[in-house]
Amino acid sequence: MSVATLRRAARETVSGLPREFWWLWTSTLVNRLGAFVATFMALYLTLDRGYSASYAGLVAALHGLGGVVSSLGAGVMADRLGRRPTMLVAQVATAFSVALLGFVHDPAAIAATAFLVGMASNASRPAVQAMMADIVRPEDRVRAFSLNYWAINLGFAVSSMAAGFIAEVSYLAGFLIEAGMTLVCAVVVFLKLPESRPTPESSAKETRDDVGLRTVLRDGRFMGVVGLSFLVALIFQQGAIGLPVAMGDAGFAPADYGMAIAVNGVLIVALQIPVTRFIEHRDPKRLLVVSSLLAGYGFGLTALAGSVGVFALTVCVWTLGEMVNAPTQTGLVVRLSPVQGRGRYQGMYTLSWSLAALIAPLMSGLVIDRFGAEWLWGLCAVIGTVAAVGYAALMRRLPQEEPVAVVPKASAAEPEASPA
């Protein structure tokens, strides 16, 4: 493929998206570039503070529980108060709670603050996804969600490498830098992003009062998709939970796990954009079925791995499923959501991943301890198959997408632009 062809492909991938999307994308990238605390939290508690591994696990669980609690509340806020106020409140609260976490030393205070950090940091997600759906045309949403997912992984790859160096100098510096960069995100949102929440008049069929949490819970097909999303999330969580434990039990060093899992980030950064071009206008049912099978059997093949190279190959398989699943799943949630209830629907979708982050460690630990890692990988294959069958059954007749997207009026004079 020639350089000119690659340039044209890149230009087509980023063209046609509104300026507001790129400011939202920039905010996401800055946020992930500063995500140091999640990377070194366990080391900070065990090595710097001298707490036990069990206490570090409790703090991690409380952080995840905070995300579970805030998922639905943040979705309601995004619909009632607006996307922009929800993001601002969440980002400012995250900055202050992360900074506070660097100064507290009492075990109970650390645990309580970690819970607050989990609540605040997860609260912006439904609003970000709802705003993205508001400002991007339906035909461009898969591409937009994919570019946002690429920014998340690019930022995380950089921050993960930087976290180690920062921790060697000062753990407190890591807390303060993350707090500062989160405040930068809030400044970007405040200065550059107008409110995008559709007004009741913008939808002929729906008003704000029509969509409550009961509406979401009674939406059988959507709740089925949320359940399937939970199953897929359980599988993907094993890359950070089951895989390192299984490799350690098999005699591999932490550096070996680091080499294998690094393939995940490298592939996403390198291939997410071309993969998006391939899947952008394809049938979401087939994509979700295929991605579920790639995830399940990618981890299932781990049972056959006996070297770092083979482990890395299995990571390649399930990473491909991840790259297909993430933008397709998020786009499907928007497609199934009524315009006035996007925040609540995105909140319920976010809840499925937060619950998976809580349950996956318990599941993997129990299975590995009682039956062995091979049973965990076999279970992943079974779960992936169940999810694939579920997606095929639930998505026989998808609703048509709305013909136009709601574009914020505050910057209507600004032309569409790419990040260049």
DSSP labels for 152-167?
HHHHHHHHHHHHHHHH
The whole-number pLDDT of residue 91 equals: 95
What band does 34 get if pLDDT is binned at 50, 70 and 90? confident
Structure tokens at 408: 């914020």
Average pLDDT over residues 273-295: 89
pLDDT at 290 > cutoff 70: yes
What band does 143 get if pLDDT is binned at 50, 70 and 90? confident
Round the average pLDDT of the chain to a whole number and report it. Answer: 84
pLDDT at 3 > cutoff 70: no
Average pLDDT over residues 393-400: 71
The whole-number pLDDT of residue 4 equals: 61
* Sign of CA pseudo-dihedral 280, 281, 282, 283: positive
Q: What is the pLDDT of residues 325-376, one digit of tens each?
A: 988 998 888 888 888 888 889 889 989 988 888 888 778 888 888 888 899 9
What percent of the chain has a predicted confidence (pLDDT) above 90?
A: 36
Q: Locate the domains of the chain by residue range.
A: 17-195, 213-398
What band does 50 get if pLDDT is binned at 50, 70 and 90? confident
* Sign of CA pseudo-dihedral 292, 298, 232, 78: negative
What band does 119 get if pLDDT is binned at 50, 70 and 90? very high
The whole-number pLDDT of residue 156 equals: 79
pLDDT at 411 > cutoff 50: no
Do the beta carbons of residue 271 and residue 323 sit within 8 Å?
Answer: yes
Superfamily of domain 17-195: MFS general substrate transporter like domains (1.20.1250.20)
How far is Cα 286 from Cα 169, in angstroms, rounded to an integer?
Answer: 48
Q: Do the domains 17-195 and 213-398 sit in the same CATH topology, yes or no?
A: yes
CB atoms within 10 A of CB 255: 9
Q: Domain 213-398, CATH 1.20.1250.20 — does that match?
A: yes
How far is Cα 308 from Cα 314, in angstroms, rounded to an integer?
Answer: 10
Q: What is the pLDDT of residues 243-262, one digit of tens each?
A: 888 888 888 887 788 788 88
Do the beta carbons of residue 253 and residue 311 sit within 8 Å?
Answer: no
pLDDT at 202 > cutoff 80: no
pLDDT at 185 > cutoff 90: yes
